[in-house]
A and B are shown apart, each in its own frame.
Chain A
């Protein structure tokens, strides 16, 4: 029985040779990651607006049911097919998934992402986004709220258009945890194993800083690391049940969790009347999730048309009514006066007086990496 064994070796050798050839062709020596040299292009507008339109976004960010926004859009632009995918649960996680594609100038067939301010900036810094010409989105130009027109991360709104804004604060079961009013109350031993915080470091840590009386704007790297230590302590004692994204909805609905750090509009997703969103006594974190058009995006015409469509107050009002986040569009109250009274959709300046804009950890890229690693070490205990 010699021959088969010999053949086996020969075939293996052949395979190895093939592998070697493939490797040479691919070239193992290139740099992996790092900023690309992609030059920012301006997204190509329509007409025509038709074909497949793929958008990646967060759960609970659009109205559902008969006559919803997606079907209205497809009616407005016949021949368009919107593939609306809720595959963003965490900015970093989503970025990790698409980054290798973006690095090659591809978007994986997606025409649009919806990501938070800091992530939009990070993507733009790496050359992964296309610029937007406001002549192509007249509704945005006309109806974007003044307060959102020049955020520090994108002063001219060149590459980002807000989809919804929101507040990070407390989701509380009023019946089971009536006295949770401050972020510090989450650490009360009587709620041991019944509280969760977010995997989004830029939400969780700044809220802890504020609860300790530190303005996130002035916080040092050490302040961030100290708050991460505090989380570590709460993990060790069994106080914290989990670190979550939007997936806290199930635990809050069936009362496995009585209080959590959470996003304001998610109250619309939680089918439990006892649960409410509370403004922490020390204030909230304010952010926006933005529509961005990645490099290599197919059908940018549909992406621009979609952004413009959503900024028509007639279209925006039902979205806002359903998702209950802070709408970036001026004039929805005229369409639906009830929205003016909802503090989650239309918070007054007094209501958000103590809130801070979502910060990045201070310092250089290395400092940010150090803080990120410390936070991740706590999550993946």
Chain B
């Protein structure tokens, strides 16, 4: 009986562990192995220990690496600024409209990612009303454009990943005990103080989760730059695509993919360090225990 009970965690963990092994560890091994090969496509890529693939992959692509982080970071920031008030309104102010509004946030997902992105080509077309308004506000020069610029790519990224920011923040706001806000007010805190000292810290795990869910896929995104971008707006995903499919330099493509993962990992670790990993891992529960 005891042995059996001791085995239970194994069985519970097994599906996840096998999944990870098959679909993460194994592909990572192959990618790492490919990244160290040498040769050309026509002659074949032989096993070698060619570390220089990594430096080759990075040299000449630093622009695109930096650009990917800038675009993704900007999109994440804008998404956060849009998502928090929206999630707040839905969770705490919407009343009986809450479900409908939540549905409205998720509704775009019923259309495919690609179609939604292509639709932005029409929204941001050179003579579209949106661009005319931006020109009237002098946000875009009179003869300027939005489509096929970095701005369009950031707009696309923000739009496409916005729900991933809204939902975790909504979840954390929704389960917050609103009595705490009243308690703050009872203690003579102003609305701003209550928000900064009560609401914001309590919803921090939602923000941290939202930022990660938005930023990580946005850095590696390839579709927005491909469809909404122009010349000089390629992100790292586009470079990897070109290396793999057009130039057929498989080792360098694999090396660049590896470096990209590493860079994202480092940025995320720094972020969690600053934001406090406890916020993400739910130290709330630990405190309770």
Contacts and interface: CB of A to CB of B under 8 A. Distances in A.
A93 B41 contact: no
Contact of B41 (A28, A29, A34, A256): A34
A92 B246 contact: yes
B282 interface: no
Given A4-B9, A19-B21, A33 B244 contact: no
B263 interface: no
Given A23-B29, A381-B232, A241 B148 contact: yes
A7 B10 contact: yes
Nearest to A5: B9
Interface residues of B, number: 55
A242 B148 contact: yes
Contacts, number: 135
B64 A380 contact: yes
Contacts of A220: none
A365 B33 CA distance: 25
A24 to B, nearest CB: 11
A243 interface: yes
Contacts of A379: 234, 242
Contacts of A240: 230-231
A17 B229 CA distance: 44
Contacts of B13: 7-8, 11
Residue in B21, B145, B147, B248 with the greatest tally of chain A CB atoms within 10 Å: B21
Interface in B219-267: 229-234, 238-239, 242-250
Residue in B118, B121, B247 with the greatest tally of chain A CB atoms within 10 Å: B247
Interface stretch (A65-73, A299-307, A344-352, A368-376): A368-376
A366 interface: yes
B70 interface: no
Interface string A9-48: 0111011101100110000110111110000000000000
Residue in A95, A99, A241 with the greatest tally of chain B CB atoms within 10 Å: A241
B40 A366 contact: yes
A227 to B, nearest CB: 16
A34 B43 contact: yes
A8 B20 CA distance: 13
8 contacts: A8-B9, A31-B45, A34-B41, A97-B245, A240-B231, A242-B231, A251-B121, A376-B242
Given A31-B44, A250-B118, 9 more contacts: A7-B13, A19-B26, A23-B29, A28-B30, A34-B45, A365-B40, A372-B247, A376-B243, A380-B242
Interface of A: 3-4, 7-8, 10-12, 14-16, 18-19, 22-23, 28-29, 31-35, 90, 92-93, 95-97, 99, 193, 235-236, 238, 240-243, 250-251, 254-256, 365-366, 369, 372-373, 376-377, 379-381
Interface of B: 6, 9-10, 13-14, 17-18, 20-22, 25-26, 29-30, 33-34, 37, 39-47, 60, 63-64, 118, 121-122, 125-127, 145, 147-148, 229-234, 238-239, 242-250
